[in-house]
Structure 1
Amino acid sequence: MYEPNVIGDWHEYDEHAGLRVRVHRLEAAEPPRGRDDAAAGLTYFSVRVTVENRGTRHYGIHLEDGQIDVRVGPDGEGAFIDWRNSQFIEGFDVHPLRRATAVLYAAAPESALTHVDVQVQLRVDEEWTDRRLWAGGTGVLEAPAAAAAGGAGPGSLAHQLSAYLKDRTEPGGA
């Protein structure tokens, strides 16, 4: 079993030399074409999925609806995906040293946004890659003092990751 990525991390595909993807810029954001009526009472957020080609040949990329799944909260409930406002990558050739980015708009209860999981299954040259998971949170509920300190308050994801890594690197750590 593989380890999930932290939102912002790059994942490199072994089967496609030089191709890598990341989920990043998870933030509270209103959709550009207005709210969907089905999202009444929910908090909107956006997330970007960037595909980068650091290889020597171009790849045909597809990242469309159904290839990105967003789950929120500690129980992993499905977020409302606003397909009308989202921008996907539909049959784009990513040449060497170039990128392509999809922007997804979704909505969920504000209290669930501290836990956001984004699963991506990229299609490259008509072949499906393995699904990969990125985990994080929007920080919508963090106190202003924690945000001013770089979001590193005691309950933040950054603090939890720092504590985990510190424990792993200390002598006698796991």
Structure 2
Amino acid sequence: MHEPHVIGDWQECGDEHAGLRVRVHGLEKAEPPRGRDDSAEGLTYFRFRVTVENRSAEPVGIHLEDGQLDVRTGPDGESAFLDWRNSHFIEGFDVYPLRRATAVLYAAAPESALSLVDIQVQLKADDEWTDRYLWSGDMTVPDGPQGTATRADGTSETLAGQISTFLREQAERGQH
């Protein structure tokens, strides 16, 4: 793992798990459905999704629990509070070919630390560990104008964000 991936990008798993791909996406501020945990007092809640897709020819048993996720925020990489009571994990689910499974997770951190959110995931596939993959995003950058494909994860300042912006502008020019 040399560089983090931008939140929303797919990451292909390594050789021993060929055909599996995973992504972290949907990073946004959101209150948990079953109420705030007392441990998160004074923190800002956010939600994100982890989706696993099976592109192989065989079903794969997927397991993703709180111990397989590490959420860090801010420039110093402080650990975020992962609310396991409100989160929906993937626990021993068989993902068949051309199917997906998604975990919806809730975490909390100080508002001032949400300018940098790093989420590291390590899946267990058929009782074997995959490599660890890291995604990075920013929840403090406002969304783009209504009707555009601007991502809300703050990628505009990164190389990936600049490329996304360029490609989006080229696509818009091609439509007119």
Identify the TM-score tier after normalising by the shorter chain. 0.7 to 0.9
Shift of 1:164: 6.1
Shift of 1:160: 3.0
1:120 is matched with 121
Mapping 1:92-171, distance limit 5 Å: 92-138=93-139, 141-142=140-141, 147-148=144-145, 156-161=154-159
In the alignment, the residues of structure 2 paired with residue 3 and residue 94 of structure 1 have an alpha-carbon distance, to the nearest angstrom, of 28
**SS of alignment partner, residue 66 of structure 1:** helix
In the alignment, the residues of structure 2 paired with residue 71 and residue 65 of structure 1 have an alpha-carbon distance, to the nearest angstrom, of 14
CA RMSD of aligned residues (A): 2.2
Shift of 1:165: 5.0
Q: Establish whether residue 83 from structure 1 lines up as the match of residue 80 from structure 2.
A: no
1:2 is matched with 2
Normalising by structure 2, we get a TM-score of: 0.83
Counterpart of 1:21 in structure 2: which amino acid?
V
**SS of alignment partner, residue 130 of structure 1:** coil
Identity %: 68
Q: Establish whether residue 38 from structure 1 lines up as the match of residue 39 from structure 2.
A: yes
Segments of structure 1 that go 5 or more residues without pairing to the other structure are 167-174
In the alignment, the residues of structure 2 paired with residue 163 and residue 105 of structure 1 have an alpha-carbon distance, to the nearest angstrom, of 25
Normalising by structure 1, we get a TM-score of: 0.84
Shift of 1:163: 7.4
Relative to 1, partners in 2 of residues 1:163 and 1:6: Cα closer, same or farther, differing over 3 Å?
A: closer
Counterpart of 2:20 in structure 1: which amino acid?
L
Segments of structure 2 that go 5 or more residues without pairing to the other structure are 165-176
